[in-house]
Amino acid sequence: MSKDPQPYGDVSKMMIILSKATIDNVYACFILANGARMEGIEAEIFFTFFGLEAVNKKKLNHLKVATVGNPAMHIPTMLGGLPGMESIATNMMKKEMEKLDIPPVDEFLEILSASGVKLWGCKLAMEMFHLEREDLLDELDGILTVGDFYKRADREGTHMLFI
């Protein structure tokens, strides 16, 4: 029996701030946003700082996993710093994800947009990185300040996540 939505407690909207561009962080953000929509929960993503790379047309299909300073990779930091290590690790990860039907970044962004996830660029970070609107994905819903983004937390059950 599906229960009626409660005025308090239930998640009604997920607002996710993505500040990193390593592919594991980007996928965590995308899967959380998509998973929300699949449950009928609203979702929005605010791309800021390095997170902007995930919606940068030239960069989004070349995101990498971090092989240095990442103990969970289980390779010595010295080896992780060797040329090509990031690409090897990233390709291995992408293969595993494809097996689970997890789409590549560009297709994932299309899915998110088609699913009704609002995608926002951070105005200040864009100025900092000298990015123009046309550098970013066409599906982007707009450029916001932090204040604009907070204002979109307009209902009970809104939750914010910083990645």
By CB under 8 A, name the binding residues for another protein.
1-2, 31, 34-35, 37-40, 100-103, 107, 111, 114-116
CA distance 45 to 42: 11
Nearest distance from C-beta of residue 109 to another protein, angstroms = 12
**Edge-to-edge strand ranges of the sheet holding 142-144:** 142-144, 118-122, 42-47, 13-18, 158-162
Nearer to another protein, 35 or 142 (CB): 35
CA distance 79 to 152: 44
Q: Position of tokens 């240095």?
A: 68
Nearer to another protein, 139 or 156 (CB): 139
Nearer to another protein, 40 or 71 (CB): 40
Nearest distance from C-beta of residue 34 to another protein, angstroms = 6
Nearest distance from C-beta of residue 84 to another protein, angstroms = 29
Nearest distance from C-beta of residue 113 to another protein, angstroms = 9
User: By the 8 A CB rule, do 160 and 146 touch?
Assistant: no
Nearer to another protein, 41 or 68 (CB): 41
CA distance 104 to 34: 14
